[in-house]
Structure 1
Amino acid sequence: MRPAHAVIDLSALRHNYQFAKTLAPAARALAVVKANAYGHGAVRCAEALRELADGFAVACIEEALELRQAGISQPILLLEGWFEVTELELIVEHDLWVVIHHHGQLADLAEARLARPLNVWLKLDSGMHRVGFAPDEYPAIWRSLENSPNVASLTRMTHFSRADEPETGRTEEQLAVFHRTTDALGGPASLCNSPGVLAWPAAHGDWLRPGIMLYGATPFEFEQTHAERLLPVMQLDSKIIAVRQIETGEPIGYGSRFVTQRPTRIGVVAMGYADGYPRHARDGTPVLVGGQRTGLIGRVSMDMLTVDLTDLPQAGLGTPVRFWGNGLNASEVAAHASTIAYQLFCNLNRVQRLYRD
């Protein structure tokens, strides 16, 4: 079998969830497992967290139904609510919680005849300006939902746009808008994504929504005390499938992007952009070969890439190669590819996932 594979460490996943809870011991936490648990496998990750998690959060009903069909009985929040009014019947049937963030959803709910009222998280646009209700309309909407027979409970909610950039002042501005708009309304509050959990204790509220931190990647572009305690969950590995000795001045790979500056020993590795490794990763992007650090050379192709073995004489055919995981944080790799760890994980494709617990 092709040697490219991802090992998912479920014990590390549980460690990261429990760490989020220790940072806010008075709060509950929804484990965010949208987008197939950021590429880690939603069902297996939810099963691993079943005994710990206060609930789960997904983007859409398809993701929620996959968890319900796998026997996950904890609360599941639909972060984008519903897209079609016909989903409401399934939402009630499977006891899903919903975010309401636009007037069309309000109209759907007002007209619906539901067998059971819903647990609603009402989203405030506190400054991200993506979805949610404006501050001047939010209190009236909240009060109308309090009186709706289709609503069982209400939670105040917003989302931070720059919690990973604490020097900007933007999170303080959003916090002020949230408190000014919603404090008089009562009810539980949920504000914190992963950088909020890690860096903004004043914003922890009643419900956390840890996402990327569950999978062991930092959301910050700087060293952050709490983020350093996260454990990587995914190890993306493969092996060297060919070794070549190339003379000085020779191009390697498509487009001749890299030209050797010395006699160069290269390793060809079974990993490419069809597996999810970023095609635009630069020369020098770090990889671990046999546990030793070296760099990518040449353009990533669909099924293969090339790494520099010149200073690693012990490496050869069959030597293991790690692209991120223990020993090499995905966020560092992402920075060399002008992207973020979220995208690396979510783009993972074709490689077999092996679960370790």
Structure 2
Amino acid sequence: MPRPTLAMLDSNALQSNLAVIRRYVSQARVWSVVKANGYGHGLSAVWQGLRKTDGFALLEIDEAIVLRENGWYGPILLLEGFFQIADLYEIDRYQLTTVVHSNWQINAIKYMTPTAPLDIYVKLNSGMNRLGFSDQGLPVAWQALSELKQVGTLTLMTHFAYANLPEGVSAQMAVVKQAAGNCMSTLRCLANSAAVLWHPETHEQWVRPGIVLYGASPSGDWQDIAEIGLQPVMTLQSEVIAIQTVPAGGCIGYGGRRRVAETQRFGVVACGYADGYPRSAPTGTPVWVEGVRTRTFGRVSMDMLMVDLQPCPLARIGSKVELWGNHVKIDEVAAAADTVSYELMSTLAPRVTVKLR
């Protein structure tokens, strides 16, 4: 029998979440972000649920090729552009759209001969201070690219650092407005997930939703999206594989840091940090057992964790356990573990069986 730890993916939730995003962005076209192997869900599993998108955005050329070989013929955007000159020939071969964020990339394009002009997203550093041309450098880069016969359409792109925070997007939008004054194209792609939901002035011609497509909040607080209609795509589930009755004063797990005040039942669940459940999740992290919300207890081990069965009198060996999903939001687990849902999704271990329903 296989180990009972499963990640169940809801393809209908993906379709529904994409439809929710479309209602928010009106006429803007949608890049569905599927980087990091579809945010840990599995690219081959999720792209079908998102096939009504206008395009897919990711990082790896290999993942772009997977989409092409699986039958996606629409736009694909490489969010970090290309890493070496040889990549340009794959970009040309598979008709990919690439981000350009550095002068060396412009020079590389200048000396290639593509079979068709390349569509380019020109990255502006508007305040995130990762990739992109400065506001002073953008017009120069734009002019250089616009003069190349190797280049087709040019689209202005930036990324927001504070769209999920009170600071918002106003400061970065001011940089965009100033820097873009000499860029003749009206094509822009600015909005990430948070900006899609909360800053409609950023929507422009294209948007790039990521985490919201998978049913989690870009703010890290699931209550911020509770009324929007987004649905969790991934349910991480397992089973109770043993039950222990621990006497008063007994300890639970490594280090014995948690003692029980009175005799109590605990369930041993077949899921641990080697599966992608966060080791930093403390006692009290919510979990769903046999239809009842309860909590973890003690340290998370490599392959197992303990749950308090006091609220779950009907729990038994074989009882179903939801670690996150519809009943326990992934944002709740992430907050308890002092991380973000992005990390939990993208670090799901390869040994966890993934099933699409």
Fold shared per TM-score above 0.5? yes
Deviations 1:185-217 (A, max 9, x none): 233101111001011101111101010000000
For residues 278 and 130 of structure 1, do their structure 2 counterparts lie closer, same or farther at Cα, with a shift above 3 Å needed?
Answer: same
- Secondary structure of 2:224's counterpart equals coil
Alignment match, 1:22: 23
Does the aligned pair in 1 maintain the 2:244–2:266 contact within 8 Å?
Answer: yes
Name the stretch that deviates more: 219-228 or 77-86.
219-228
One-letter code aligned to 2:208: R
Give 2:38's aligned amino acid.
A
Q: 1:197 maps to which residue? A: 196
1:176 aligns with 2:174: yes
The structure-2 alpha-carbon separation of the partners of 1:14 and 1:344, relative to structure 1 and needing over 3 Å to count, comes to same
Q: Give, in angstroms, the shift of residue 111 of structure 1.
A: 1.8
Conservation of the 8 A alpha-carbon contact between 1:47 and 1:72: no
Count of aligned pairs between the two proteins: 353
The alpha-carbon deviation at position 74 of structure 1 amounts to 1.2
Partner residue of 2:328?
A: 328
Matches within 5 A, 1:122-141: 122-141=122-141
Q: Which amino acid aligns with 1:301?
A: S
SS in 2 for 1:168: coil
Q: State the partner residue of 1:263.
A: 263
CA distance change for structure 1 residues 58 and 26 in 2, over 3 Å: closer, same or farther? same
Residue 312 of structure 1: how far off its partner (Å): 1.5
> Is 2:206 the partner of 1:211?
no
Runs (5+) with no aligned partner, structure 2: none
Residues 304-349 of structure 1: CA deviation (Å, up to 9, x unaligned): 1100002211111111000111111100110000000011111111
Q: Is the 8 A contact 1:240 1:268 kept in 2?
A: yes
Alignment of 1:96-115 (within 5 A): 96-115=96-115
Q: What is aligned with 1:348? A: 348
Q: Matches of 2:283 and 2:93 in 1, distance apart?
A: 52
Q: Indicate how the Cα distance of structure 1 residues 225 and 41 shifts in structure 2: closer, same or farther if over 3 A, else same.
A: closer
Partner Cα separation in structure 1 for residue 92 and residue 229 of structure 2: 39
Distance in 1, Cα, partners of 2:330 & 2:191: 22
**Cα distance, 1:283 vs. partner?**
0.6
Choose 234-243 or 223-232, whichever is displaced more: 223-232
Q: How far apart, CA to CA, are the structure 1 residues paired with 2:190 and 2:27?
A: 14
Within 1, Cα distance between the matches of 2:220 and 2:94? Answer: 39
Normalising by structure 2, what TM-score? 0.96
Off by >6 Å, runs of 4+ in structure 1: none
Is 1:66 the equivalent of 2:66? yes
Structure 1 unaligned regions, length at least 5: none
TM-score (norm. length: structure 1) = 0.96
Q: Is the 8 A contact 1:7 1:354 kept in 2?
A: yes
Contact 2:220 2:340 in 1 (8 A): no
Q: 248-257 or 226-235, which moves further after superposition?
A: 226-235
Partner-residue secondary structure (3-state), 1:26? coil
Identity fraction in percent: 43
